[in-house]
Structure 1
Amino acid sequence: MSWNTVWNRRTFLSALAALSGNAIAPRAEASVAEGSKMAGIDGSPIVPITSGLGSTGDIYAELGVTPLVNINGTVTVIGGSVMKPEVMELIRRGNEHFVLIDELEKAAGKFIAKLCKSPEGCTGLVTGGAAAALVVGYSAFMTEDLEDRLVSVPDTTNFPRNEVIIQKSHRYAFDHQIRQTGAKLVEVVTREEMIAAINPKTVAIHFTNILSDHGKVSGPETVAIARAHGIYTFNDASADVPPVRRLWDYPAVGFDLTTFSGGKDICGPQASGMLIGKEELIRWCLLNMSPQEDRIGRCCKVGKETIFGFLKALEIFVNQDENATLRMYDERAETISRAVAPFGVTALPRQYNPDALGNVTPTYSWHVDPKKLNMTGHDVLQALADTRPVGIGTFGADASGMRGRKASDPKKESAVQKAKSDVPTRPRREQVDPQMFGFAVWQLKPGEDKLIADRLVEVFSKARKA
């Protein structure tokens, strides 16, 4: 289903600008027409682009890709999260001058430690995402500050310690980043097995925070065992804020390194994250990453613009009124609920558990009365995804991204694309009622709730039963 009968790309963006106070829609075409510079939301002037990419005012259309309204959540495959204007402004200011990146990282670390109430003797490090933090963190555990080891990773054959213990229930896609450092994973199930697995080659115990309720050994127990045996601990809490307090609660448990993603609800640059840990360990992490050369983390480059943008996003995140943020989400959902109620679509109770692990946000769902509308919940999500010129959600937002083929399968590009596009947008809880649909509202931009409501009104108007 297409939206082209009522909307086209220009009217869509114009409506979005009107709803949000002209704060977020592109205005390059007007700029070109006026022949003058206008203030942009990132604080820099909007420069007229009269030729090449950007000259039409719609860079997505110029490349032939479909932009999206994000009802999927903070997933990397569609760009993560929405950066606030203040964050974009500091990214611009970060581009004003050159600076020694190592010096900037050290200063940023102090800023992070103070803002996040880090334990005494700890500091922070801005990384190229939480996955990059795993790479440089585990490399640091093994290399320390020894140059011969720094240039050898991932060949850890002659390293004195290169084994990492992990609970079997904590295995996940991102332990690939641990393994790529040359570390060997040793699986355990129980506390007794964890202790028994420790040997002279053991360097650390890994803790996957989002899976902590699946394992038999808790975070505090993991730290206690590691300390008793003189080995390190790493807590991957990449998606586990909000609530904000976890930024200081988790490091306070005593993990040697803890990572958080910057491109999720912190709403920093997509390719950003941070480590919090002991000052010496953080220095070793920096030794393992860009701007240093001949390092495994050279590819985990963090630019000065990203560092400044992340710090501002973190500051805004820490200082937010979390109750006000929840009220904003409720208001967005209520805008949609009011619009769809006349069609027999009923808002379901909000699902929200502030103590949940990972991507903590309210879930909003609605129920379609089959006696009034000839649609299922899946049909509704499909109609939103089919919206043009700007899609609302996507059936291609598989959190795992693209997948390769088996060696025995024939080479067919279409098979890869099909695997990527077969995963529908789903509410965050298990959907058992086919008449139910739901989605996230936490990454909507101002005014997009009204646009979703208008689109649903159009869809339901056409689906009414006689």
Structure 2
Amino acid sequence: MSTFYELEYGIPSLINCIGTLTSLGGSRMDERVTSAIVQASRSFVDLNELQKRAGKRIADLCRVPDGYTGYVTAGAAAGLCLSTAACMTENDSTRIRQLPNTSNISKKYVILDRGGDMRWNQSIQTSGAQLLFVGSKKHPATYSDLLSVLIDRSHEIACMVYFAGAYDDGQGLSFEDILVLTNSHNIRLIVDASAQLPPRSNLYKWTHGGADIVLYSGGKGIGGPQTSGLLLGKSDLVASVAANGSPHELAIGRPMKTSKESICGLVKALEIFIQDDDADDVTHYNLVISIITDTVCDIPGISALRVVCPLPPTIQPNTIPRLYIDITVKRNASPPLDHSLKSEFYGDDLDHGDPLAIQPTTPVNILAYKLLKLQPPIAVNTSNTGIVINPQTLTVREAKIVAQGVKHVIANMVRDGILTAKVTSRL
């Protein structure tokens, strides 16, 4: 049966084994979410008042402390820009209107730890903010590194951005340590938790921990519109976020428009997400993985099947188990696998903006490339020793198709002499 995208645009729908990437469309929306979007689209509303009412409902759903509220952004990256702008301008209308010009704004620097996630620097700089780095990629900032910067330059620092999950391997400063330091110097702390759901407890963790603003993607774990983001923050700061945002015409956030449909869709998705349970998610993940492993467990060409959880910080959310399917490559395969690298660090060089631009130059990439050529196409992530399956975005029906697809492609690669028929280890 042809899908909507095939009928309307001539593009096949994918089976997504990678995850809730923006470039693959984020997540699936529940019918109750799409119903809310349709209902919202059928009449007009005061958008500023809708944002306030939606923010209050979001705050109640997320059990924020007194003095906090919510706000819907056009995605977590837009939230970074707006939050940074809010920290620089507060509620000063003159400053709000002049951004991204920060020439007469004294506090215009944002602290970033180079040991964190550097992909979103432009989202921060769009506000006009300047970046102030501590630490390095290999050596995240220490307590003394951050303290030194705060002592010397707190008079010109608007805020610090902390990327949640980036230090789950124990490297770098904890959120608690950073908060103590920023609070002691009256510096706002923004937590980017875009891909940190599930678990649902992360909706409450950082606001109750004292963060000034916490950002989430609306179109990932929550299951809302891909063009939505969730912001929780201290009420005075959220008021400044709103003043810097759309629909205001003389504001840096005017291009980051949040529609009435997106607002209502996100609130409904959040209601459903909170009603559901982490344990039910895990049951589904395990079922999907077992369907695939039961089908491919005896296939020549596979050297190991491994379920890994928790995962390293380079893979988010790292609380969702991943199935690693390692392959057996002939000794004379050209080019061979590089076993000197750890497969757990897959994705470091993946372009998440175009993850399907695969060049079939290695056995691993050939496998991923051939899976994309099936009907329906199967999109997988890769490690240095095989492919990786994320069950988060798979239905039971799709898991069966994936299992048969992997079985078919690997059998053909053994036949073609790319993989050996040797079988070594199982789960």
Query: Normalized against structure 1, the TM-score is what?
Result: 0.74
Separation of aligned partners in 2, 1:348 and 1:181: 46
1:444 matched to 2:378: no
Give the counterpart of 1:65 among 11, 17, 24: 11
Aligned partner of 1:456 among 400, 406, 410: 406
Q: Aligned partners of 1:304 and 1:184: how far apart in 2?
A: 32
Are the equivalent residues in 1 in contact too, given 2:304–2:327 (CA < 8 A)? Answer: no
How far apart, CA to CA, are the structure 2 residues paired with 1:260 and 1:218? 19
Q: Distance in 1 between matches of 2:387 and 2:131?
A: 40
CA distance in 1, matches of 2:329, 2:107: 62
Contact 2:5 2:12 in 1 (8 A): no
Query: Which blocks of at least 5 consecutive residues in structure 1 are unaligned?
Result: 1-9, 14-25, 27-57, 395-424
Q: CA deviation at 1:437?
A: 2.8
The 1-side partners of 2:237 and 2:67 are apart by 11
**Is 1:249 equivalent to 2:205 in the alignment?**
yes
Q: Report how far residue 446 of structure 1 moved.
A: 4.8
Counterpart residue identity of residue 223, structure 1: L
1:316 to partner: Cα distance = 1.9
Q: CA deviation at 1:293?
A: 0.9
1:155 to 2:111 alignment: no
Classify 1:194/1:241 alpha carbon distance in 2 versus 1 (closer, same or farther; 3 Å): farther
- Deviations along 1:242-299, whole A, 9 cap, x unmatched? 1110110111121111101111111211111111111111111011111111111011
Per the alignment, residue 362 of structure 1 pairs with: 321
Report percent identity of matched pairs.
30
Conserved 8 A contact 1:81-1:265: yes
Cα distance 1:216–1:198, how it changes in 2: closer, same or farther (>3 A)? farther
Q: CA deviation at 1:141?
A: 1.1
Report the Cα distance in structure 2 between the residues aligned to 1:226 and 1:198, rounded to whole angstroms: 12
Partners of 2:5 and 2:146 lie apart in 1 by 54
- CA RMSD in angstroms comes to 2.6
* Structure 1 pair 238–224 and aligned structure 2 pair: CA distance change class (3 A): same
**Aligned residues between the structures:** 373
The answer to whether the 8 Å contact 1:212/1:219 transfers is: no
Instruction: Pick the aligned partner of 2:155 from 182, 200, 203.
Output: 200
- Contact 1:244–1:318 (8 Å) recurs in 2: yes
Per the alignment, in what secondary structure is the counterpart of residue 42 of structure 2?
A: coil
CA distance in 2, matches of 1:245, 1:79: 25
| Paired residues for 1:49-448 under 5 Å | 58-60=4-6, 62-170=8-116, 172-189=118-135, 190-213=145-168, 216-344=172-300, 345=302, 348-353=305-310, 358-360=316-318, 361-368=320-327, 377-388=364-375, 390-393=376-379, 425-427=381-383, 431=384, 433=385, 436-448=386-398
**Does the 8 Å CA contact 2:6/2:12 hold for their aligned counterparts?**
yes
- Alpha-carbon separation, structure 2, partners of 1:459 and 1:199: 57
Please list the CA deviations of residues 390-437 of structure 1 after superposition, one character each: whole Å capped at 9, or x if unmatched.
31106xxxxxxxxxxxxxxxxxxxxxxxxxxxxxx315xxx3x3xx43
Per the TM alignment, residue 218 of structure 1 is displaced from its structure 2 partner at its CA by 2.4
The corresponding residue for 1:16 is none
C-alpha distance in 1 between matches for 2:114 and 2:399: 41
Contact kept, 8 Å, 2:154 with 2:185, in 1: the verdict is no
- Cα distance in 2 between the residues matched to 1:171 and 1:236: 10
2: CA distance, partners of 1:110 / 1:355: 35
> SS at 1:210's partner residue?
coil
Deviation, 1:459, is 3.2
- When structure 1 is superposed on structure 2, of 379-388 and 129-138 the one drifting more is 379-388
1:145–1:284: 8 Å Cα contact kept in structure 2? yes
Q: Is the 8 A contact 1:239 1:359 kept in 2?
A: yes
Deviation per CA, 1:138-161, whole angstroms, max 9, x where unpaired? 111111222211110000101132
Offset of residue 122 of structure 1: 0.3
Give the secondary structure class of the aligned counterpart of 1:186: strand
Larger radius of gyration: 1
1: CA distance between counterparts of 2:414 and 2:173?
A: 53
SS at match of 2:269: helix
Cα distance in 2 between the residues matched to 1:353 and 1:321: 18
Q: Secondary structure at the match of 2:240?
A: helix
- Rounded to whole Å, the distance in 2 between the matches of 1:448 and 1:293 is 45
User: Is 2:297–2:305's contact at 8 Å kept on the other side of the alignment?
Assistant: no
Name the stretch that deviates more: 359-368 or 346-355.
346-355
For residue 167 of structure 1, report the CA deviation from its aligned partner: 2.2
Moved more, 266-275 or 347-356: 347-356
Letter of the aligned partner of 1:242 in structure 2?
Answer: P
Q: Is the 8 A contact 2:288 2:395 kept in 1?
A: no
1:408 matched to which residue of 2? none
**What residue in structure 1 maps to residue 140 of structure 2?**
none
SS of residue in 2 equivalent to 1:187: strand
For residues 253 and 66 of structure 1, the distance between their equivalents in structure 2, rounded to whole angstroms, comes to 44
